[in-house]
Structure 1
Amino acid sequence: MHERAEDTRRAVLQAAAHLFFERGYAATSIADISERSARTSGAIYFHYAGKEKLARAVVEAHFATWPVLIARNETAGAPALENLVRLSFAVARAFRDDVLVRAGARLWAERRSIDVEMPPPFVDWIATVERLLTGARAEGTLAAAADPGRDAATLVSAFFGVHTVSDALDERRLIEDRLTALWHLVLPGLQAVPAPGALLARVRDDSASLTR
């Protein structure tokens, strides 16, 4: 019984994520989610109590993606800056390919039209980037002029700015190329010994090997 309930919750969440991403919150109804998930409206209300709570569940699933992704992409023994760049590409691919991530981002952008409190964005990302920059400082690989506490928020802002522009111009199809261009611009100001091309080549080679 418990397994069947979990199957229903997952099916409804996935269906809602697809529809919220494709149509937006206002244009998606419980009837649409019921049809897409092949679950009754009664089952949806039983598990999620309404469209607002379902939207919040999608956003929460979006945020729950990140700790797992961070752990998976911080390679033990690798330099902190390399881990930071590797993580940025993993996040970029999630925003391009993972419907829960994309739906969560759209719903958060539409939060003012949804009558439920949403989790705050960016705060955990800023803390993660600051931690990695602080690690680079301890390793001696961070440029003297760089400041982890100051620069973490700027890097997160630039990263999500690239995502916004890429989404608008090409639906993130070229996000990895655009992110590479951002790192070519930024890394010379972060690396104690600037060598952005070599670092990016290692990270992109690692990423390619994961997809083989």
Structure 2
Amino acid sequence: MSTRARRTPAVSDLKQERAIRTRALILDAAAQAFADKGYPDTTLLDVAQLTGATKGAVYFHFANKNALAVAVTEEFYVRLRGLVEEVGKAELPPVAKIGRLITRTGEMFRDDTVIKAGARLQIEQSLIDADLPTPFLGYGEAVTELLRAAEAEGALPDGSEPEALGRVLVAAFFGAQHMSWVINDRVDIADRVREVLAIILPGAVPA
């Protein structure tokens, strides 16, 4: 086998790895721009400058700004699903898992740029000429499943219905994080999350 034949796969692999890294950098830059400026005021030039790449490099990976918005929103849900799976594996009672899930989600809304961007893009969905993932469904279903498990253990307040309680809890959380963002740039989100849990599901308030 010639030297060239042996090296070709390695060169191809390096190019692929570099392309993956570049795409990830572009996605992170887009999330930063969307989170800071919103969809209407973000341009592909903004993203390129944040990445340190050319507009051509951005276009190579994403056809337009709509495609970037879809990709960032999809990553938003990938990260939420990852958190749901992580909390699901914890050796905790169902109600405590709910408390951890909601609390950790609040921290992500405060600290994770992709989560901040995804939340903002969902609000600005009518301005985006592309179909974004349906919000909240998977997350709400995960909370409801934990509430059903808690009900089976007799850990819910008397008369509670897991489905209704799940809808109220998820709606209250996402409403609270939105108000925290608008009023205080989410600096106080930990306190707002504790309030939501204390009122709706007191047993889920972390120690």
**TM-score, length-normalised on structure 1?**
0.87
**TM-score, length-normalised on structure 2?**
0.89
Please, which moves more after superposition, 165-174 or 57-66? 165-174
* Contact 2:169/2:196 (8 A) holds in 1: no
Number of the residue aligned with 1:157? 171
1:70-126 deviation line (CA, Å, top 9, x unaligned): 122235431101100110000000000000000111111111111111110011122
1:18-70 deviation line (CA, Å, top 9, x unaligned): 11111111111111111110111111111111111011101111111012111
CA distance in 1, matches of 2:135, 2:51: 28
* Contact 1:62/1:104 (8 A) holds in 2: yes
Number of the residue aligned with 2:30? 16
- Structure 1 stretches of at least 4 aligned residues deviating more than 6 Å after TM superposition: none
Number of the residue aligned with 1:67? 81
Instruction: Answer with 1 or 2: which has the greater Rg.
Output: 2
CA distance in 2, matches of 1:75, 1:185: 26
Q: Does 1:51 align with 2:65?
A: yes
**Of residues 155, 159, 170 in structure 2, which corresponds to 1:141?**
155
CA distance in 2, matches of 1:106, 1:76: 30
CA apart distance, 1:164:
1.5
* Contact 1:166/1:172 (8 A) holds in 2: yes
**Of residues 127, 132, 148 in structure 1, which corresponds to 2:141?**
127
CA distance in 2, matches of 1:47, 1:103: 19
Q: Does 1:179 align with 2:193?
A: yes
Q: Which residues of structure 2 form unaligned runs of 5+?
A: 1-14
1:118-175 deviation line (CA, Å, top 9, x unaligned): 1100111221111000000111212230001222111111111111111122111111
CA distance in 2, matches of 1:76, 1:37: 36
* Contact 1:75/1:83 (8 A) holds in 2: no
**Of residues 73, 78, 96 in structure 1, which corresponds to 2:110?**
96
Q: Which residues of structure 1 form unaligned runs of 5+?
A: 189-195, 205-212
Q: Does 1:170 align with 2:167?
A: no
Number of the residue aligned with 2:47? 33
CA distance in 1, matches of 2:90, 2:126: 41
CA distance in 1, matches of 2:41, 2:91: 48
Q: Does 1:106 align with 2:101?
A: no
Q: SS of the counterpart of 2:201?
A: helix
Paired residues, number: 193
* Contact 2:25/2:51 (8 A) holds in 1: yes
